[in-house]
Amino acid sequence: MSTVEVQEIAPFLTVENLVVEYPSKKFRAKPFRALTDINISIGQGETLGLVGESGSGKTTLGRAVLGLAPVAAGRITFEGRDISHATRKQRRSLSRDLQVVFQDPYTSLNPALEIGAILAEPLGVQGLEQTAARKRVKELLDQVGLPSDAIHRLPREFSGGQRQRVAIARALALSPKLIVCDEPVSALDLSTQARVLDLFLQIQKDTGVSYLFVSHDLDVVRHISHRVAVMYHGEIVEEGPADVVTLDPEHPYTQRLLLASPVPDPDRQEQRRADRHRLLDIQRHQNEQAGVSA
Amino acid sequence: MSDSVETAAVAAPAPSLHTGQSGTVVRSTVIRRLLRNPLGIIAITLLLAISLLAVLAPVLAPFQENYSNIAKTLAAPDSVNILGTDSAGRDVWSRLLFGAQLTLLSALLCAGVAIAIGLPAGLIAGYYAGKFEAVSNWVVSILMSLPGLIVLLTIRAAFGPSVWISMIAFGILISPSYFRLTRTAVQSVRNELYVDAARVSGLSDLSIIARHIFSVVRAPIIIQTAAIAGVAIAIQSGLEFLGLGDPTKATWGVMLSEGFKNVYLNPTLLFWPALAMALTIGGLVLLGNAIRDALEDGEKIKHRKKVALTKGTTAAPARAGQQRKSVTAVDLGTEHHLVKVTNLGVGYPQADGSVKKVVDDVSFHVDRGEILGIVGESGSGKSQTAFSILGLLPDNARIVAGSIQFDGNYTVAPGEDRVDQARLSRLRGKRISYIPQEPMSNLDPAFTIGYQLVTPMVRVLGIPKEEARKRALKLLADVGIANPERTFSAYPHEVSGGMAQRVLIAGAISCEPDLVIADEPTTALDVTVQADVLDLLRELQQRLNIGVILVTHNFGVVADLCDRVAVMQNGRLVEEGPVRDILRNPKEQYTRTLLASMLEGKTPMSMLVSSQKEPVA
């Protein structure tokens, strides 16, 4: 956060010392700590990429911002308001500015509702009347590149990529300022992923929306983010400008992550594989030394 | 599926994926399906007719329910009393009509009470869980442990012989069935992402339950109500048959009791109420079944398809059987290939007699010590191709063209329309093995990892258990598991996904196969774990000199492992060749498009496919 670039953009979402704990199912057992002392901030029109392996807490952080995960300590501030324990009523007004696109386009749309009804839902909550809502739904379908006759279709009539477009349209319905994107492309095919990423970039260009972009794929995060934070075991271990973190990382875990992702060329991949083994050896050596000195 | 394919699906008036109407709301199609089902129509007509008779009872009945003509008891049917009279000279037909009123209403009351208690309680318990659920579970358990008939008898003793009171009591007693049904249904959708999305949209809990949750329980509730109403009629009539009913009211149960008393004098008195009850309860049961069938229509069509298919192709297997004996030798000069797939076509016969091809004219071969990558997007037929080599295609799949040979022998000879399981079961597990995509769902949670490794070895290799155990431990060490003993005795849920995949790889090589088919073996794993598993696969493949078919969508994985690549699109082989040629100089446009979608080496924040006009927009 010390870079000049970041200071130019005044953060409008800040997360300070956030701790998220899930109560344990077992009687009197210690709660499970999913996030420890998280500090992040996102500015207007900025994308913060959040990368990490499964179980690292990256999804939980997104859910905590959305009010879907129990905040045990710390503060989440959105436009100066503390939203870490927002009530449902406050959430309703927040939903105008804060939206979500989930990973799985198959379960994030109610299979029994038509696309039109799904898209009109957030509009109805905000008290938009029906004709205005219909008009907005048409606009939204156009914006995400779906035909307007999609309104009367059910989700199951669409492919994964198209469903994800519907989910994006729903998130855009209220022209939010921040969209939490929870692995929005990881269930999609490669060429579909490319198109959906293009859509995210285009929307940001057009509307100036900010993204908290959660992904396990360093390549995806590098492509779409201004800044990148790396999570490991519920903590942020590295944060900085996207190109620095994703091309020349400092933290051992990020280094491992970078070299683990295979490249589509046999010879360069062989090189990367060798680099990775060398890195693993060095890190193992360092760990052993640290163990000896400790 | 690429967006160009998506466009085609959207542009078409009715999506080709669904044979039924494109459908608006689920409920309307369910009703339409219900009306198309003869049983449904019979049930609905029957129940409507009975209800209509009940409603119109005051008009239709020639006499009051308790009007008795003492001069004419136990009379046979005549023009005045069309069904005769009972022992008090009351008109049976009139009593039957008025009885229908009371019987149906009391059944409705019972179901209504049960729903009014069970449904909201189930919704709240399912949605919020927590204390309410715990408490209501207690109450439900108590209610369910009460002996229903005894409670009803007690209530009758306390409150008198009112039909209404006993049905309210029975409604309360039976409400747990609604509670459990609702709670389970709600629990299954409570954590769906669309419910989360609704929460983020700021919907109140009430609207979420009404819009997103209630639709899930609606259908089961209707089915349950049909059943419960039938049970209520039976229970109520049973009580009255025992003589515990209100003798001043005409109900079918009271009439049944009356008929039984006079069974030797006029047996038809027993017959009419029994018939009315049988028709009503039967109608309710049929209705419930028809609704369930309407909801599960998709599945039913599949069954029908299967039946039609076996009928249509009875001649084909016989022909294939003859060929099997004559065609055993493969083409000369190809027997050195470990696997050779020639012009393979795989299809699924449809209800209308056509065949939907999912693999079309695919040819490739794999030699010993070679890794062939099959790349493609979802729906390209790459997994179907792999499964046809393994002989693990679904039952209704057909080999519509081509042949597959393994180590110089046909597993699917030309002209055969199914994979010969007898031939393949000798190879599968022993010479051809399989590494699946989802490691966790491919280990049985009920058995230890050791057991799942040892059993196939004992069965396939015929070695004693102790030796198999030694081998399993060595295999676990070979696949890079630090503490083989501990993993051996662990259950699948006790190990991580990467570890589980190592275990499955150990299982795949345990019987020393010649060919391993790996279907997206690293897709479900973290990137760092993926790199380790790829290292393991490479090391094992080189050491054991086995042939590998690697199905994947990731060109990075291909570059890491494969010697040759085959690119598939829409069931066809687009391009095949050495890995360097395909990845560096792809000849086909599709391969180029796929490679262009890779993010590696792209300028961040640049449009990836903007040069190609967005087809959907």
User: Is the pLDDT score of A1 beyond 90?
Assistant: no
Asked whether residue B17 is assigned to any structural domain, the reply reads no
Task: Look at residues B230, B255, B275 and tell me which one is the last residue of a structural domain.
Answer: B275
- Please give the residue of chain A at the shortest CA–CA distance from B13: A149
Burial (CB count within 10 angstroms: exposed 0-12, middle 13-18, buried 19+), residue B74: middle
Task: Determine the structural domain holding residue B177 and report its residue range.
Answer: 104-275
Q: Tell me, yes or no, whether B418 and B564 share the same domain.
A: yes
Interatomic CA distance for residues B159 and B296, integer angstroms: 44
The rounded distance, in Å, linking the Cα atoms of A218 and B213 is 37
Q: Is the pLDDT of residue A9 over 60?
A: no
B202·A95 Cβ contact <8 A: yes
Task: Give the span between the Cα atoms of B592 and B594, in whole angstroms.
Answer: 5
Task: Please report, rounded to a whole number, the percentage of residues in chain B having pLDDT higher than 90.
Answer: 41
Cα–Cα distances (Å) from B278 to A275, B138, B230, B267, B293, in that order, read 79, 36, 9, 17, 22
Residue B56 domain flag: no
Distance of residue A30 Cα from the nearest chain B Cα, in angstroms: 18
| Residue B482 resides in a domain | yes
Residue B299 pLDDT exceeds 80: no
- How sure is the predictor about B286, in pLDDT bands with cuts at 50, 70 and 90? very high
Any idea what DSSP says for residue A157?
Answer: G
B434 and B544 inside one domain: yes
**Above 50 in pLDDT, residue A4?**
no
Q: What is the reported pLDDT for B389?
A: 92
B221-236: average pLDDT: 90
Domain membership of residue B603 (yes or no) is no
Helix and strand counts by DSSP (H, E) for chain A: 11, 10
Calculate how close chain A gets to B532, using CA atoms only, in Å. 8
Residue B465 shares a structural domain with residue B586: yes
ipTM of the complex: 0.86
Task: Answer yes or no: is B421 within a domain.
Answer: yes
**Closest Cα in chain A, distance from residue B180 (Å):** 22
Torsion of the alpha carbons at B251, B252, B254 and B260, rounded to the nearest 10? 160
Contacts of B208 in chain A (CB under 8 A): none
Q: Is B374 found in the same domain as B257?
A: no
Point out the least confidently predicted range of A166-175, B128-137, B317-326, B414-423.
B317-326
Domain endpoint, select from B236, B259, B275 = B275
C-beta atoms of A222 and B604 within 8 A: yes
Provide the CATH number for the domain around residue B542.
3.40.50.300
Token pair recorded at residue B132: 């309410």
Nearest to B582 by CA among B391, B397, B395, B376: B376
**CATH code of residue B110:** 1.10.3720.10
Residues B374, B246, single domain; the answer is no
pLDDT of residue B146 exceeding 70: yes
Does the pLDDT value for residue A66 go beyond 80?
Answer: yes
Answer whether B616 sits within 8 Å of A269, measured CB to CB. no
Domain assignment present for B551: yes
Task: State how far the Cα of A166 lies from the Cα of A147, in Å rounded to an integer.
Answer: 11
Task: Select from A207, A220, A148 the least CA-distant residue to A179.
Answer: A207
The domains located in chain A, with CATH, are: 1-97+176-242 (3.40.50.300), 110-173 (no CATH)
Question: Residue B15 falls within a domain, yes or no?
Answer: no
Q: Is the pLDDT of residue B310 over 80?
A: no
- Pair (B231, B375) in one structural domain: no
CB < 8 Å from A in window 185-224 of B: 192-194, 196-205, 207, 211-212, 215-216
Q: For chain B, how many residues are written?
A: 617
Is residue B14 in some structural domain?
no
Is B609 in the A-facing interface, judged by CB distances under 8 Å?
A: yes
Q: What integer pLDDT is reported at residue B284 of this predicted model?
A: 92
* Cβ within 8 Å of A, B 557-596: 557-560, 579-580, 583-584, 593-596
Same domain, B260 and B375: no
Do A243 and B377 count as a contact with CB atoms less than 8 A apart?
Answer: no
Judged by CB atoms closer than 8 Å, whether chains meet at B598 and A94 is answered as no
Domain tally for chain B? 2
pLDDT tens, residue by residue, B375-431? 988 888 998 999 999 988 888 888 999 999 998 888 888 888 888 888 888 888 889
CA atoms within 13 A on the CB side of A118: 33
pLDDT in tens, B357-379: 899 999 999 999 999 999 988 88
The beta-carbon contacts of A28-36 under 8 Å, at least 24 apart in sequence, are: A31/A72, A33/A72, A33/A234, A34/A60, A34/A69, A34/A234, A35/A60, A35/A61, A35/A64, A35/A234, A35/A235, A36/A234, A36/A235
Which pLDDT value is given to residue A88?
A: 81
Helix count (H) and strand count (E) of chain B? Answer: 25, 10
| Cα R_g (chain B), whole angstroms | 34
- In A, minimum Cα distance to B580 occurs at A266
At B28 the pLDDT is: 55
Q: Is B382 on the interface with A (CB under 8 A)?
A: no
Give the residue from chain B lying closest to A205, CA to CA. Answer: B605
Minimal CA–CA distance to B599: which of A95, A220, A199? A220
pLDDT at B152 over 60: yes
Q: What is the mean pLDDT of residues B126-148?
A: 90
Measured in degrees and rounded to the nearest 5, phi and psi for residue B369 equal: 75, 15
Please, which pLDDT band fits residue A47 given cuts at 50, 70 and 90? very high
User: What is the strand order of the sheet B398-406 is part of?
Assistant: B355-366, B339-349, B398-406, B409-412
Identify which has the larger pLDDT, B325 or B51.
Answer: B51
